[in-house]
Amino acid sequence: MNLVILDRDGVINEDSDAYIKSPAEWHAVPGSLEAIARLSRAGWRVVVASNQSGLARGLFTMDTLNAIHAKMRWELAQVGGYIDAIFVCTHGPDDGCRCRKPAPGLFEDIARRYDVSLNNVPAVGDSLRDLQAATTLGCAPWLVRSGKGMRTLEKGGLPPDTQVRDNLSAIVDEWLAGA
């Protein structure tokens, strides 16, 4: 099984320091939905692992988060793509949970759900915490320059062997060319 784990904000959709609080604020990164569709057609299982502390902060409700994800799935379906599952941490940064990246809980949940080792499974994010959570379980880290990726790259401290590309579309082009 070809499995890929994607962060949401900054990888699939445009990010905002003020959070994505409604479906109207959710806008795909150009080419990201088409990239996921290409993965879907090639037989990949696409999974999302996303911190959504806006819920804990009271910036939106679970119903709103579900509506945002419904919009994302609908727009993706329009280009022939599919997300197999969405794993979300709804806690705030000070809640001390195990699921908020950089903690590995979301990735552990994914490994259990699919009954697989995540060793060398590609994980794409735009922040250091995305990459840190992924590498804890042996995922191959990929950083996009979209979203907060440029800031992350400038700060440095990336896990060893992190691959850096402009966006999800560029990554998928490379993966499928090498398939």
List the catalytic residues. 7, 9
Q: What are phi and psi of 33, to 5 degrees?
A: -65, -40
Q: In what order do the strands lie in the sheet with 85-89?
A: 85-89, 45-51, 3-6, 122-125, 140-144, 163-165
80 Rama class: left (phi>0) / alpha (psi -120 to 50) / beta: left
Tokens representing 100 are: 């908020």
Strand partners for 45:
3
- 3-state SS track over 21-46: CCHHHCCECCCHHHHHHHHHHCCCEE
